[in-house]
């Protein structure tokens, strides 16, 4: 099976009845971008830009950042998407040189885009560095993590628009929302209607935690933090419907996108793009090729009617031939 998957890794992922799903990679930097392309990625669905900020004593300069973003763009083929997530720190990801006051509940505190909204110069610098890569071949997309309210989105988008207006970039740069907080999924219609919101990408790791109010790192709870929980799948399906009504697209960049068993359900829910870990790319593409779209749709309908994640997983046989 491995050998067959490897043989087809550079081919697009198309269901037997011709429905195409984009399979892209989650990366932390330039080396990953290069490796992802050798594994058959059709672009990058999540550049975790905090890797550019971590493990150093001082903040990276605009030029330091711009080099990383431009090199990632150049590692892709012309027109391949490069989704750059703005700095996602706070919660479980502290930075010594960017102090966030100690909080009682860091996962419910200043994390993700809230850091950039509190310290707009950090966000502005990053957006300038990202926009500098707009003419390097890849189709640049910017995504804001941990958006919870329309006000968050509008504030972040306003800063993006200001930075863009001051730049001399001509290329199209898409802007989207990382859907990790249930409020975005519940109000997907309103978020999808926001001007200039081009896409959502679902961060199922955090979305599952916040939906179940369980820490994904908790030793006693982690095993229950299953993105195949019907509550989470319902949220994803809801968002896909709202976005498609507006002609916009939905990706998944959380860990579930790398799970071949979940892939037909995600495709059936209307997910347009799967962004997975680099080693998972060939098997995720193979999973897309395994079921026709109408079967995926039926599986998804059954999945959201299930009562437990175990029931959901029992719907899709795990291929281990």
Between strands 174-179 and 20-27, the pairing is unpaired
Q: Which one, 180 or 273, has the nearer CB to Mg ion?
A: 180
Q: Give the one entry of Mg ion, ligand PEP, none that residue 254 binds, where binding means its C-beta sits below a cut-off of 5 to 8 angstroms depending on kind.
A: ligand PEP
How far is the C-alpha of 72 from the C-alpha of 86, rounded, in Å? Answer: 15
How far is the C-alpha of 75 from the C-alpha of 309, rounded, in Å? Answer: 38
Residues 214-253 that bind ligand PEP (CB under 6 A): 253
Query: For the chain, what's the residue count?
Result: 321
The CA-based angle 8-201-136, given to 5 degrees, is: 70
Say how many residues touch ligand PEP, by CB under 6 A. 10
Please identify, among the stretches 17-25, 94-102, 136-144, 198-206, the one whose residues bind ligand PEP according to the rule CB under 6 A.
Answer: 198-206
Nearest to 263 by CA among 305, 241, 233, 239: 233
- For Mg ion, the binding residue among 198, 206, 272, 273 (CB under 5 A) is 206
Smallest separation (angstroms) from ligand PEP to the CB of 6: 26
27 phi, psi to nearest 5 deg: -135, 160
Measured CA to CA in angstroms, residue 289 lies from 25, 39, 64, 176, 254 at distances of 18, 17, 40, 28, 21
- Does residue 285 interact with ligand PEP by CB under 6 A? no
- Contact criterion met (CB below 8 Å) for 158 and 123: no
- Does residue 198 interact with Mg ion by CB under 5 A? no
Q: Give the one entry of ligand PEP, Mg ion, none that residue 152 binds, where binding means its C-beta sits below a cut-off of 5 to 8 angstroms depending on kind.
A: none
- Does residue 204 interact with Mg ion by CB under 5 A? no
The contact pattern for Mg ion, residues 176-195, with x = CB under 5 A and - = no contact, is: ----x---------------
Residues that bind ligand PEP (CB under 6 A): 46, 48, 88, 180, 203-206, 253-254
Residues that bind Mg ion (CB under 5 A): 180, 203, 206
């Amino acid at each position: 099976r491995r050998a067959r998957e490897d043989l087809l890794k550079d081919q697009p992922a198309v269901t037997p009845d011709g429905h195409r799903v984009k399979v892209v990679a989650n990366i932390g930097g330039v080396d990953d971008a290069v490796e992802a392309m050798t594994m058959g990625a059709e672009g990058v669905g999540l550049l975790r830009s905090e890797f550019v900020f971590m493990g150093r004593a001082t903040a990276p300069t605009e030029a330091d950042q711009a080099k990383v973003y431009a090199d990632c763009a150049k590692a892709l083929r012309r027109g391949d998407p490069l989704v750059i997530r703005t700095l996602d720190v706070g919660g479980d990801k502290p930075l010594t040189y960017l102090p966030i006051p100690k909080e009682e509940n860091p996962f419910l505190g200043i994390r993700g885009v809230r850091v950039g909204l509190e310290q707009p110069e950090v966000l502005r610098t990053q957006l300038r560095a990202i926009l500098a890569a707009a003419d390097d071949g890849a189709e640049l997309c910017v995504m804001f993590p941990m958006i919870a309210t329309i006000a968050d989105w509008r504030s972040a988008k306003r800063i993006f628009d200001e930075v863009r207006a001051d730049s001399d970039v001509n290329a199209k740069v898409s802007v989207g929302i990382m859907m990790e907080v249930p409020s975005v999924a519940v109000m997907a219609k309103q978020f999808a209607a926001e001007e200039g919101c081009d896409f959502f990408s679902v961060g199922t790791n955090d979305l599952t935690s916040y939906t179940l109010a369980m820490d994904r790192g908790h030793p006693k709870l982690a095993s229950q933090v299953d993105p195949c929980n019907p509550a989470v799948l319902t949220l994803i399906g809801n968002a896909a419907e709202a976005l498609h009504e507006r002609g916009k697209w939905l990706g998944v960049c959380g860990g579930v996108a790398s799970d071949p068993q979940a892939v037909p359900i995600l495709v059936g829910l209307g997910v347009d793009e799967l962004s997975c870990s680099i080693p998972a790319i060939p098997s995720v593409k193979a999973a897309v090729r395994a079921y026709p779209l109408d079967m995926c749709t039926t599986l998804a309908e059954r999945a959201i009617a299930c009562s437990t994640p175990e029931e959901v997983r029992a719907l899709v046989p795990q291929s281990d031939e």
